[in-house]
Structure 1
């Protein structure tokens, strides 16, 4: 992979260097020898690579076999049902020449010369394409700029890889498409028909560009002054070309050629065939195209995409009118859209877009188009090179990071291309675009910008007015909490479970005798720590000492009902412990009908059989631990009973909260889950208050609370006894109070009032870190926000210093000058206590119930555990079938399957954690949109550079007010603080690590909706938000069975809930 990364970097550098070379190229003329020398250098480079790289063995062997076959049997017998041949007849004639030369000169198969002969047609087409770029660019720019563009294409690694290293012929197909576009541009329709026909006879992928030809016909024949003569000329010309194609195919056999086309077009029936696109991003590379995705098969979606492409090509052509770049930019749109979203795409099908982008750039050189070109050059190289050098069908893994990252890059680049296309349409005077500007007009000195940022005075901003909390707010909040609580508390778990324990030591035995008429078939057990305890089970029929069956058994999960099968006839049973000790809470023997069979001597082991009435009909999440409860809830139990701590990989605080529920309600499923569920309920007021404080809108506050209430992950994670709920709760709290602190000023509110939210924030931060180390990520974001706030106060101080006796609003400048330094010092001192001393105390005290026999003493065991935790997480090198990478989380590629049970042949139970699609899939676009609002140009800049569709875009956005600018910046920093660090985590990760990011994503959605509110009537906004809220709740109800573990028809889950291939919710 190192070489692939190297040449990908070369591609990026080449794109950047050539961009600046083009930008600053001087008006110079060169002799034709320079052009010839560059082309010769490109040819030599390709020849060297071609003879040193065998290429893709499958393709090279096929081309070689076809070349020999064409020469040996001729066209008439070439196509045969017994021989694999999936290329059209024209390229077979090219290969005929290769076969002829190899035979005449007795060239050894797969020798360097033979491989070069197979690759040389595509190499020649590379050179011709490069020259056409130079020729066309020379008509619009200086010769030096034309040479830069030619060199860019000529030496691009992705282009060289295809023809010279791989040995494929996409260059021939690309040359045809370029020629067709040039002819359509020049209104030479009949030659365009001929070139298109040649392309179809060369490579069937030319059919993808049929909409281009249709647009050309519509423009030249029907739209621009319809004339009968012109119509009939084109009609007859088109028919003549079709007839020519038929005549050309006659030697091959019309029927054979037609069947060959059908066979080729129907081949590779997969969602993706190594194209790293949308389908590969969701794990469907090499998945059958009939696999369902969002109610339809991938094949159906592919057909929908093709129809939409045709429709949009005609619509977009109207905006482009007579633009010279029309057919090239539409060609890019067709290629890119097909590659990213259609089915049966190979890795090379986006290849023509590189040349088409350069031609579009020639006619209107925009920076955005060049970014598209460079990005595509890098991503396509990664895709093609990875397939060429690393594709192994026998050991294929669709979740290799390079596949997912390149697929995500292609997906994002496509939307950037749409943005670039929009700008392309908008820039009617594009030849004088921004990249032509003199660089001296821009201040490129970073240090000066930094100085201005740090030391530019800014007018003092008063504290934000107090946010009112009305009766309506209270009613809405309570209503949401009540509705959510009814779902969250329902079927949370049994409130009773066996409690009494029977303690055993190594070699202890339990000997049981059953009634003669009893037939126990199953031994059901319920144990306390330790786990994985080893027994010997012996059974007999005659006497207590006549054991005729022996089995070694291991009892694994604690506080979970589990079963061990018994022989058919059991009168006596003996369990002998081999582990050091065991704590058995309850044993229950069942017959074949599920009835409890009580041993005759049960009274000898009273605590083993005293709670048989609590034995459930079936073991489920309602009466047993599931997923990581076996670690976290178990450790909470150990804290209460002073037992050695089992789960040490996270700080203790989260498990202390779990133990609180156990202490109040007992060691049962309800007891170990209730506190987390209550924390989940009390997250909602903070989301409501956060939304209200940011937007000052009751509607927005209620919507933010509602969205979080009915996000799937919020529901699932707060109903399982793990620690993620607690760290997420405290992250919400600490960011809420930091926001409150940052929106008040100690200049007009006084110092003490600022200490209240700041102190609560610090305490919450301490609890967050004491629950889980990911709280440290969030704390880093707080630090950024806090010091940014102090910087703002400092810049206000500089402003006041310039006018010491002035006033800004109600704040006098002399008071600012007097108080800045002492208030700042006191604030930092306060923070040392509340953000360092108190959090350290909270963290250290959380180790009070932690038992470490090796390291006694509070400080010793706390310090030792930090080392153990770090070693565990840094050295964790395991795999899990439901793990996922950070960039997969917002897309929800792979939910985590917490629980599963087969109820009947058709009914299933399951619990999975993932997000509500109407929240998570909107959250990332909302984040990107908010970033756009933060960094987009000012109105004046937009006005200078915006026309056409750009004006339409401007109407759909708005400038941020100062308060919106700050709140958006605040949420963006918070979102990145809890999400971005996971990019650098190499250990095993899961989608629930995204949980702390969800509140920020929701608030960013709310911020985006508030921008929309500015452009619509109040009634429209209210109706829109209500519809959105209803849809979110509707999805929650739809998916509720697999979130809550409710029995559901397996067919319903597969048909309506499995939107993505890896959404596995119930057992088969």
Structure 2
């Protein structure tokens, strides 16, 4: 019941903080460049500034981007804008804008912070799963050197916040699994029992890690709705872990009562707490009067929703209906986009997303030395070697989980697939590779754990030495590959031929 955990706590924290610091430094360096709104930054930083000012999203004139870059952000109207995502991610962007102003550093700095938190949480989750500081460090280093996580950590979009909250939620769920088993072991020790002897065992109502998981999953849903799938997956998995814990403690057939006795409180901790967390992020919209659909309740006083819930909450439900209709309606399903990428090809990185590009820079202009023209681009591209190895490792994790019955390998599998497979239901609309930033932390963990299998035990030494060489070469290839694509992640000036050399497949162009 008291599963083995790493005893090198000091080293564990030194490794965690060292790699986290490295991730922060390379992400924050020159993050304010380019000094313009790139890709979907044309939406979320402006929405963040509006929420900061009015408490809800408003419309902006067509010339707003130029005005903002020139230092004048006070050009927004007071008329409500229809926003298609919940507010939390935009609120977090607004924190940076509040501290540093409505400028490129201000609207990107919180992405840097949460991109760094993502690395931190990945290390701790991988360390807890593998029971190894080395494997935790490898997972964090791999994620630090991923191009997609890097770009999303330096751009004012929503997905990096979602990814961080999801990894934190999964980490808390796994911590709850360990905590609960220790609780059962302590009960047996205090009672002087070898096992439960077929009895169900104590009811454990207070589950602090499960509460934290509910808060984190609720926050993830308050950034983007598709986080619900991960919440559902781990809601089921954590209750099954409770069944397994009680069976291991000797409850035998009565362990299945955990589906009710532990499952109902688990529902409260994860779903109810998650819902309340989600609802709390709408408070600014509720306490103001100008948001989209905010006056629907007042205009429809006889509607049953208004009579039961009051005009504020009824209006909020109406807004959610409109948002859902947008995400599933004809407009989005008939839309097209040049960077649309089918999710079947995400894990092999077949179609990266172009975030920003300045093409055909003439020789003698902007530092272009010629004779070719030059380009400046930001591509939301993963580090190819890492993504390909991680995709293969995911298959190994599935096999090891099912064949070797090692629950630890199931965690990155369930986490990755719960953020990945649901997208196949929405392939009629444009989907983008950068959505996969919620997948790569978990596949990095899976790859690190597979590297742990390759490393093997300390004895025999020759076996360990061979494994270390293989793992070391793999990590070095990831680092070299990241360094090679770094210019296309950071808008650096490149001769056209040098840019093309980094476009290994025609679908990348």
TM-score category, normalised to shorter length: 0.7 to 0.9
Equivalent in 450, 463, 484 of residue 1038 of structure 1: 484
Judged with a 3 Å threshold, the aligned counterparts in structure 2 of structure 1 residues 837 and 789 are, in CA distance, closer, same or farther, namely same
Give matches, 1:224-373, under 5 Å.
Answer: none
Cα RMSD over matched residues?
2.4
Give matches, 1:402-551, under 5 Å.
Answer: 462-493=1-32
- SS of residue paired to 1:930: helix
Judged with a 3 Å threshold, the aligned counterparts in structure 2 of structure 1 residues 844 and 470 are, in CA distance, closer, same or farther, namely closer
- SS of residue paired to 1:909: strand
Quick check: 1:933 aligned with 2:400? yes
In the other structure, the counterpart of 2:508 is 1063
- SS of residue paired to 1:483: helix
CA distance in 2, matches of 1:783, 1:832: 7
In the other structure, the counterpart of 2:176 is 741
Is the Cα–Cα contact under 8 Å of residues 679 and 725 in structure 1 kept in the other structure? yes
TM-superposition CA deviations, 1:660-704 (whole Å, max 9, x none): 111111111111110111000111121111121122222211110
Judged with a 3 Å threshold, the aligned counterparts in structure 2 of structure 1 residues 762 and 882 are, in CA distance, closer, same or farther, namely same
CA distance in 1, matches of 2:471, 2:82: 44
CA distance in 2, matches of 1:849, 1:1050: 48
The alpha-carbon deviation at position 707 of structure 1 amounts to 0.3
The alpha-carbon deviation at position 796 of structure 1 amounts to 4.4
In the other structure, the counterpart of 1:969 is 410
Is the Cα–Cα contact under 8 Å of residues 847 and 858 in structure 1 kept in the other structure? no
Quick check: 1:783 aligned with 2:202? no
Is the Cα–Cα contact under 8 Å of residues 34 and 491 in structure 2 kept in the other structure? no
CA distance in 2, matches of 1:790, 1:473: 28
Is the Cα–Cα contact under 8 Å of residues 731 and 775 in structure 1 kept in the other structure? yes
Judged with a 3 Å threshold, the aligned counterparts in structure 2 of structure 1 residues 661 and 647 are, in CA distance, closer, same or farther, namely farther
The alpha-carbon deviation at position 721 of structure 1 amounts to 0.6
The alpha-carbon deviation at position 1042 of structure 1 amounts to 0.7
Is the Cα–Cα contact under 8 Å of residues 235 and 267 in structure 2 kept in the other structure? no
In the other structure, the counterpart of 1:307 is none
In the other structure, the counterpart of 2:443 is 1001
Normalising by structure 1, report the TM-score. Answer: 0.39
Quick check: 1:874 aligned with 2:321? no
- SS of residue paired to 2:379: strand
In the other structure, the counterpart of 1:1010 is 452
Is the Cα–Cα contact under 8 Å of residues 648 and 865 in structure 1 kept in the other structure? no
Judged with a 3 Å threshold, the aligned counterparts in structure 2 of structure 1 residues 1033 and 911 are, in CA distance, closer, same or farther, namely same
TM-superposition CA deviations, 1:311-363 (whole Å, max 9, x none): xxxxxxxxxxxxxxxxxxxxxxxxxxxxxxxxxxxxxxxxxxxxxxxxxxxxx
In the other structure, the counterpart of 1:674 is 109
Quick check: 1:1048 aligned with 2:494? yes
CA distance in 2, matches of 1:853, 1:706: 43
The alpha-carbon deviation at position 998 of structure 1 amounts to 0.9
Quick check: 1:641 aligned with 2:53? yes
- Residue correspondences, number: 432
CA distance in 1, matches of 2:315, 2:383: 41
In the other structure, the counterpart of 2:40 is 628
In the other structure, the counterpart of 2:472 is 1026
CA distance in 1, matches of 2:145, 2:49: 30
CA distance in 2, matches of 1:991, 1:891: 10
CA distance in 2, matches of 1:698, 1:1021: 17
CA distance in 1, matches of 2:504, 2:112: 28
CA distance in 2, matches of 1:858, 1:636: 22
Structure with max Cα Rg:
1
CA distance in 1, matches of 2:132, 2:51: 44
- SS of residue paired to 2:350: coil
Equivalent in 863, 867, 883 of residue 317 of structure 2: 863
Is the Cα–Cα contact under 8 Å of residues 484 and 709 in structure 1 kept in the other structure? yes
In the other structure, the counterpart of 2:419 is 978
Quick check: 1:988 aligned with 2:437? no
Judged with a 3 Å threshold, the aligned counterparts in structure 2 of structure 1 residues 793 and 695 are, in CA distance, closer, same or farther, namely closer
- SS of residue paired to 2:466: helix
The alpha-carbon deviation at position 768 of structure 1 amounts to 0.6
Judged with a 3 Å threshold, the aligned counterparts in structure 2 of structure 1 residues 661 and 469 are, in CA distance, closer, same or farther, namely farther
The alpha-carbon deviation at position 637 of structure 1 amounts to 0.7
Is the Cα–Cα contact under 8 Å of residues 357 and 375 in structure 2 kept in the other structure? yes
Is the Cα–Cα contact under 8 Å of residues 844 and 862 in structure 1 kept in the other structure? no
In the other structure, the counterpart of 1:920 is 387
Structure ranking higher on relative contact order (CA contacts 8 Å, 6+ apart): 2
Judged with a 3 Å threshold, the aligned counterparts in structure 2 of structure 1 residues 730 and 652 are, in CA distance, closer, same or farther, namely same
Gaps of 5+ in 1: 1-461, 494-620, 803-816, 937-959
Equivalent in 880, 896, 904 of residue 353 of structure 2: 896
Is the Cα–Cα contact under 8 Å of residues 923 and 1001 in structure 1 kept in the other structure? yes
Quick check: 1:711 aligned with 2:146? yes
The alpha-carbon deviation at position 858 of structure 1 amounts to 4.2
Judged with a 3 Å threshold, the aligned counterparts in structure 2 of structure 1 residues 698 and 863 are, in CA distance, closer, same or farther, namely same
CA distance in 2, matches of 1:788, 1:686: 24
- SS of residue paired to 2:507: coil
Judged with a 3 Å threshold, the aligned counterparts in structure 2 of structure 1 residues 846 and 893 are, in CA distance, closer, same or farther, namely same
CA distance in 2, matches of 1:464, 1:854: 52
Judged with a 3 Å threshold, the aligned counterparts in structure 2 of structure 1 residues 1011 and 466 are, in CA distance, closer, same or farther, namely closer
Is the Cα–Cα contact under 8 Å of residues 654 and 723 in structure 1 kept in the other structure? yes
Give matches, 1:185-196, under 5 Å.
Answer: none
TM-superposition CA deviations, 1:985-1032 (whole Å, max 9, x none): 132111112211111211211222222223863333333333222221
- SS of residue paired to 1:1017: helix
The alpha-carbon deviation at position 634 of structure 1 amounts to 0.8
TM-superposition CA deviations, 1:933-964 (whole Å, max 9, x none): 3445xxxxxxxxxxxxxxxxxxxxxxx4x6xx
Is the Cα–Cα contact under 8 Å of residues 339 and 352 in structure 2 kept in the other structure? yes
Equivalent in 752, 759, 771 of residue 223 of structure 2: 771
CA distance in 1, matches of 2:327, 2:293: 21
Is the Cα–Cα contact under 8 Å of residues 844 and 858 in structure 1 kept in the other structure? no
Judged with a 3 Å threshold, the aligned counterparts in structure 2 of structure 1 residues 658 and 860 are, in CA distance, closer, same or farther, namely farther
CA distance in 2, matches of 1:758, 1:927: 26
CA distance in 1, matches of 2:240, 2:362: 59
In the other structure, the counterpart of 1:372 is none
